[in-house]
Chain A
């Protein structure tokens, strides 16, 4: 809207311009009487002055009845300062004239009183040209209630001396030459009549004004003198004053002047008429400046008519800089009633609302043609903007305000700042917050610009702070992160300026805070170099004042929330670590209360909203436990985003819930490398612990970095960990060296290991030492062995005394207990022989590590083979041939087991938690001896039999084998030998029950019988060996030995008791019978059934033979002997305990050695075992055969 002919009409000389703009003017002020309320003297406190100024300012609208009885509405404007130069423009616009003066002063002495009077008088002189009237208000010293001295106020003009009842009469008097009405008040008093006094003062002003107006209006328009704006004086020198143009000019200007006066005097209609007329006149002669003034007058008068209530800001703020919380006018709501007001009174010549701005615009354009009218233009722009604000025309207001900026004025810095502040205020009124912020920022920079002789960083800072919202900035980092909008480049700039301002004001804490804020919120928008520079700046700032996460409260009451460097260093991972496996608390399984018939219930017992709880748990609750008073760890992965080494010290965990003691950590982070750090601490009580982040101290700033505020990734707001009450802690050691390897059988709980090598059959003891290294007694300790072995075998290999352990409880802190673990290398010493294994081989004996085994029964028990050397040669051969394969099968094997210890104590035990740790035990079992083959032979006495064993020494050492308590044998390494072991036969008492119920379920009874016999043998036979080189010894058992049915007959005690007599005398074992050839020997035998049941179909036979001792038996003895009586007899039924007898005689023809074999065959009536494989049933022999030597 600037005129393109700007400055053309202005002279270039610097005329006395009105150099003190009044940005606070409203258009309504055109109608106001200007009164200066002056603070005089130094005694009066500014606050008191302010209070009285406010009180006086309230009387800004007086209703005065004029001489014609018309009610005039007089507006008064009070100012605190009024540059006398502005009076010069009083002809141009009369409202610029200072019409009244009120001095406020305080005195304690006569001298001071006189001084105030003097100053007042000098002020009167200063504004002499325009001043109509003045008042002087005195505040005396505290009253001593003196009697009223005859006041000297009579020197003042009239009778007003007794004016104020409340005022005590002064003992001090004003000087005689003091010609002003003096008002005495008490500073603290109510001053009830002040209002009437001021009213009266305004009245007096009005009447003077009215008289002047009348005087002017009565002048003849043709003869009026030319009114001039101050800078115009030169322009008219030498001009023809009598010209028609000039006449018009004079008339026009005077008309306009009259309009001004009428407006001030409350004659709105008249003023409008005058203005309209003046505009008409001035337009014709192109008197732009005054035309502009006429237009402005027209507009202001119209505005006054339309919006009589146009609100002015609180008078208090008039000269003060814009303050936070000054009423931001929400134009819409305020204007609603005002816009309706024009309808109620239509004033002639008044402009329509939309025309007001138009006229103002024109006026401004006209003003702009004169350089010297810059201030008038500026003020007009502000006034016009205010009207536009009132009309709620934001864009119009903006254009008026925009115009202000272009006006080139030589202003003091202070005035420039004021201009921007006013602009900012108005912009914010129309909702142009960004523009307002821009102006505030400019004003702020002006405060500290190099041109400014008295920089005020404090003001600068507060303005900067005010401009934050306009830049979409708040001081709360959390809020900033949430909104994340605005103009980063400008925000960064502003924040940097804010930091500088804060630093220059001397508030380093604030500077550090803002810099921290800048780095925290704007990190993503900064270039790497900026990041680096700002970080370094922060470091130097914080060197002056360390940043800490506390609220800062400014003097103005603004609270600056804490800013934290949550992303320096950046946290990429936050992992809550479980305890080491063996330290993890485990719930002691308690017997579950009867849960009722339902195994699953969708309801969660224990209250709460199950759905919510589950959701939350999924996110934040960790599924393991921590233990009170024990180190808890959190792994944090940090990345230093800065290009230099970053030292982060005093890193601690931020927790809530139970008491937690965090260990401060310090770490130096190299640039751009991810560093893993472990933060640790102790929970000092049981309960729920909430981990919400960590605190850091880096770049000189202490920060509380909460997970929820971190920019990176998706951390939950916090982690929750349950802390279990204190538990003991055991350290476990063994007396064995640790094993070389953990193999497939692995468990996290393993704390130590033990490895040992044992020969099969060897035993050893392992001492496990348990030391309590915790703070709590161990009150419960349980041990158990875990392995993949089947339980019975496992019990053979591992065994310990539980009572030994229990007796040592409780284990006090620092003390230890021991547990003796016996290890036995159990193995199968029997050779497998698959080929001959009976189909009915007991399964339970061949399972586990016992590979399938069976008895070698090659050769069988053919009834025809009655040789003493029972074992046939080829069977012996075959067993020896089989040896190498046996060795292969019996190479060393490893047994792995875990000794699991569960222990607990103290408060943790009470809440049913325990700990578990295990000892890994590895036993390497290497073969010692091996029974490659076995057989049974009848012994010399009938109560025993010989177990013949082929024993192979599988070690490479010489072995001493003790196979009976008295007999030992040495076996070379890798050699084998055969040993006979005399064994008591299996007594019938062990077997009796199997004979009782023979008819049913033969198979299984037979199996059981075999097993019993097998156990019988393994119980009795104890093969002890000693390896001479290593001095290790062991015992081999024959457990699981298998027996064929033939063997069984030998192993078992015979159910038949034999009693044989030769020639009437009983045969004793190992006793030869001597007789001569031709002698008749009488053999008598009695068979007693010692079973509890009858035996049937027994065939007793007597057979003679000769043994050549070379393996050949000669049964063909027809030529050598003769028998009388039957050598065979069948007994149909032999009842229990019944005795059957048989007799026969024999005569030997030739001398020689003869043997008699007496046996009894039973058809397989109680056992079908061998029916399929062997043709005979059981054979019970009288053993040993009877030897007869015939001479």
Chain B
């Protein structure tokens, strides 16, 4: 079960933010923001090495005392961040990977929506619900 999911546009500004506990949102935002440094570092390192671009999953960006932060970047440099409670031992790498894949497909859906302008904040309620379901693992 993830505690927070964020989608960040290619200009590194947030497009979507969802967390289970709304009170913690600001602190999660700080965590996600900090994690962008790592994402960028990983991306620039990847480019240098000319590594396989098909691998979108970045793995764990860094872990905190209480949380672990995972990252995923689409080919269009849209970043997905998942924050997981570090006490949560159930979620393994594979689960995280599949969560990211689900989020990616949800994102693809919302971008396909003709009423959504890419680059804007995502405020679709069904999308929020779907993401919440992915977070809680009810899908």
Interface 1/0s, chain A 386-402, versus B by CB < 8 A?
00000000110011001
Contact between chains at B62 and A486 (CB < 8 Å) = no
Contact between chains at B33 and A399 (CB < 8 Å) = no
Residues of A within 8 Å of B17, CB to CB, are 489
Query: Is B115 in the interface zone, CB < 8 Å from A?
Result: no
Query: Is A490 in the interface zone, CB < 8 Å from B?
Result: yes
In angstroms, Cα B41 to Cα A394, docked, is: 7
Query: Is B34 in the interface zone, CB < 8 Å from A?
Result: yes
In angstroms, Cα B34 to Cα A1158, docked, is: 133
Specify the chain A residue showing the minimal Cβ separation from B11.
Answer: A485
Contact between chains at A435 and B11 (CB < 8 Å) = no
Contact between chains at B30 and A438 (CB < 8 Å) = yes
In angstroms, Cα B37 to Cα A487, docked, is: 14
Query: Is A431 in the interface zone, CB < 8 Å from B?
Result: yes
Query: Is B88 in the interface zone, CB < 8 Å from A?
Result: no
Q: For residues 824 through 881 of chain A, which have their beta carbon under 8 Å from a beta carbon of chain B?
A: none
Choice from A399, A434, A488 contacting B62 with Cβ under 8 Å: A399
In angstroms, Cα B8 to Cα A486, docked, is: 10
Interface residues contributed by chain A, number (CB under 8 Å): 24
Contact between chains at B13 and A431 (CB < 8 Å) = no
Q: For residues 481 through 521 of chain A, which have their beta carbon under 8 Å from a beta carbon of chain B?
A: 485-490, 493
Contact between chains at A398 and B29 (CB < 8 Å) = no
Contact between chains at B37 and A427 (CB < 8 Å) = yes
Residues of B within 8 Å of A487, CB to CB, are 13-14, 29, 33
Interface 1/0s, chain A 1091-1120, versus B by CB < 8 A?
000000000000000000000000000000
Query: Is B45 in the interface zone, CB < 8 Å from A?
Result: yes
In angstroms, Cα B37 to Cα A399, docked, is: 12
How near does chain B come to A429, taking the closest CB pair, in angstroms?
12
How near does chain B come to A336, taking the closest CB pair, in angstroms?
14
Interface 1/0s, chain A 427-450, versus B by CB < 8 A?
100111111001000000000000
Query: Is B12 in the interface zone, CB < 8 Å from A?
Result: yes
In angstroms, Cα B64 to Cα A435, docked, is: 13
How near does chain B come to A716, taking the closest CB pair, in angstroms?
25
Given A434-B33, A438-B34, also A395-B41 (CB < 8 A): yes
Choice from A405, A430, A486, A489 contacting B12 with Cβ under 8 Å: A486
How near does chain A come to B115, taking the closest CB pair, in angstroms?
20
Specify the chain B residue showing the minimal Cβ separation from A492.
Answer: B26
How near does chain B come to A153, taking the closest CB pair, in angstroms?
57
Contact between chains at A431 and B37 (CB < 8 Å) = yes
In angstroms, Cα B64 to Cα A398, docked, is: 12
Size category, B interface: 20 to 34
Contact between chains at A489 and B14 (CB < 8 Å) = yes
Contact between chains at B41 and A434 (CB < 8 Å) = no
Query: Is B65 in the interface zone, CB < 8 Å from A?
Result: yes
Contact between chains at A398 and B41 (CB < 8 Å) = yes
Given A485-B13, A486-B12, also A398-B38 (CB < 8 A): yes
Contact between chains at B36 and A402 (CB < 8 Å) = no
Contact between chains at B45 and A395 (CB < 8 Å) = yes
Q: For residues 455 through 488 of chain A, which have their beta carbon under 8 Å from a beta carbon of chain B?
A: 471-472, 485-488
How many residue pairs bridge A and B at CB < 8 Å? 59
Contact between chains at A489 and B29 (CB < 8 Å) = yes
How near does chain A come to B68, taking the closest CB pair, in angstroms?
12
Residues of B within 8 Å of A406, CB to CB, are 65
Choice from A395, A471, A472, A485 contacting B42 with Cβ under 8 Å: A395
Contact between chains at A433 and B37 (CB < 8 Å) = yes
Residues of B within 8 Å of A435, CB to CB, are 34, 37
How near does chain A come to B11, taking the closest CB pair, in angstroms?
4
Choice from B13, B42, B63, B65 contacting A486 with Cβ under 8 Å: B13
Contact between chains at A434 and B36 (CB < 8 Å) = yes
Contact between chains at B65 and A490 (CB < 8 Å) = no
In angstroms, Cα B12 to Cα A390, docked, is: 27
Contact between chains at B37 and A488 (CB < 8 Å) = no
Residues of B within 8 Å of A402, CB to CB, are 62-64
Specify the chain A residue showing the minimal Cβ separation from B63.
Answer: A402
Choice from B11, B12, B14, B38 contacting A432 with Cβ under 8 Å: B38
How near does chain B come to A677, taking the closest CB pair, in angstroms?
33
Residues of A within 8 Å of B30, CB to CB, are 438, 490
Residues of B within 8 Å of A405, CB to CB, are 65
In angstroms, Cα B62 to Cα A427, docked, is: 14
Residues of A within 8 Å of B26, CB to CB, are 489-490, 493
Contact between chains at B29 and A490 (CB < 8 Å) = yes
Interface 1/0s, chain A 109-153, versus B by CB < 8 A?
000000000000000000000000000000000000000000000
Listed from nearest, the 9 A-B pairs whose CB atoms lie closest are A432-B37, A485-B11, A485-B13, A435-B34, A394-B41, A435-B37, A434-B37, A438-B34, A434-B33
A432-B34, A485-B11, A493-B26 given; name 11 further pairs at CB < 8 Å: A394-B41, A395-B41, A395-B42, A398-B37, A431-B40, A432-B37, A433-B37, A434-B37, A485-B12, A489-B26, A490-B26
Could you list 29 A-B pairs, sorted by A, with CB under 8 Å?
A394-B41, A394-B45, A395-B41, A398-B38, A398-B41, A402-B63, A405-B65, A430-B41, A431-B37, A431-B41, A432-B34, A432-B38, A432-B41, A434-B37, A435-B37, A438-B30, A472-B12, A472-B13, A485-B11, A485-B12, A486-B12, A487-B14, A487-B29, A489-B17, A489-B25, A490-B26, A490-B30, A490-B33, A493-B26
